[in-house]
Amino acid sequence: MSRLRYTDLEVRHGHRTTLSVDGEIRSGAWVAILGPNGAGKSTFLRCLAGTERHGGVVVVDDVRQGSVPIAEWASTVALVPQQPVVPEAMTVSEYVLLGRTAHIGWFRAEREHDRRRVAEVLDDLDLVDFAERRLDGLSGGELQRVTLARALATDARVLLLDEPTSALDLSHQIGVLELIDRVRRERGLTVVAAMHDLTLAGRFADRLLVLRDGVAAASGTVEDVLRGDVLSSAYGTEVVVLHDGALGHVVVPGAGRPHPSPESKGRP
């Protein structure tokens, strides 16, 4: 099974250390990376993906980043970026086929097997009807599913997601997270996701890691981390956690003061 270990993981910009973490993620887990803006969530994911220069060691099972070819790492760990580059005239099928890059030899063309994997992933995510559509005609929610499809087409065991719901409205947020949870369980994937919404993180993840200024401010189970005192100190603002039978932990920022945002939590 795919155990992910990161040891002495460190990113420096000049004299400033922007990330310094150590840890291990067990196979099949869903770990949510939390923390305020600029805490290093995206940097952490990029380090795991191998697209950010860093010190330290990242290992999945016995595959060590940097000592295997780029293609082998890419077929072990897949990243869904927060704002993927969208080549406008590209079709959905061509885009998802990019996920097969690591499996196709340097001078080779894609084979029937690669096209079949694309078809399977599109079918799995209910995107078959989009196969010939151009990316620039898709909505935010559709595009999110398409980038997820590209990541799944890599057949990687570890799926990294950078704020997978940031561009989506409330109903699509739940839809995408449920979809990720389903493929995680069906394929035994390990999911590491930077998340903004603490309530949703508590609902879907089984372990949480809170970063602040590039170091772990808190980590553990949902019960350990989703607590008013822990979150208040990590985010540097007052946070209240309510408990709801159906929703689990409901995290309310800035409680005590009137909250101007009209968004309602849940329907009657």
| Interaction of residue 94 with another protein, rule CB under 8 A | yes
Given 88, 258, 263, 267, the residue binding another protein (CB under 8 A): 88
Which range, of 100-108, 171-179, 186-194, 253-261, touches another protein by CB under 8 A?
100-108
User: How does DSSP classify residue 91?
Assistant: B
Q: Look at the alpha carbons of 38, 230, 217, 169 in this order and tell me if their dihedral is positive or negative.
A: negative
How many degrees, rounded to 5, is the angle at CA 165 between CA 216 and CA 187? 80
φ, ψ of residue 190 to 5 degrees: the values are -95, 130
**Cα radius of gyration (the chain):** 19
| Interaction of residue 131 with another protein, rule CB under 8 A | yes
Within 148-177, the residues that bind another protein by CB under 8 A are: 150, 154
Which range, of 32-40, 108-116, 172-180, 260-268, touches another protein by CB under 8 A?
108-116
Given 19, 47, 92, 198, the residue binding another protein (CB under 8 A): 92
Within 51-70, the residues that bind another protein by CB under 8 A are: 51, 70
| Interaction of residue 110 with another protein, rule CB under 8 A | yes
Within its chain, how far is the Cα of 134 from the centroid? 24
Mapping DSSP onto H, E and C, the string for 203-263 reads HHCCEEEEEECCEEEEEECHHHHCCHHHHHHHHCCCEEEEEECCCEEEEEECCCCCCCCCC
Given 57, 63, 119, 252, the residue binding another protein (CB under 8 A): 119
Which residues lie below 8 Å from residue 147, measured CB to CB, with a gap of 6+?
80, 81, 84
# chain residues binding another protein, by CB under 8 A: 46
- Closer by beta carbon to another protein, 102 or else 193: 102
Cα(117)–Cα(203) distance, integer angstroms:
31
- Closer by beta carbon to another protein, 102 or else 148: 102
How many degrees, rounded to 5, is the angle at CA 239 between CA 216 and CA 10? 15
Q: What minimum distance in Å lies between the beta carbon of 257 and another protein?
A: 40
Q: Which two tokens stand for residue 210?
A: 């809170």
- Closer by beta carbon to another protein, 39 or else 78: 78
Interface positions with another protein (CB under 8 A): 46, 49-51, 70-75, 78-79, 81, 84-85, 87-94, 97-99, 101-102, 104, 106-107, 109-110, 115, 118-119, 122-123, 128-132, 136, 150, 154
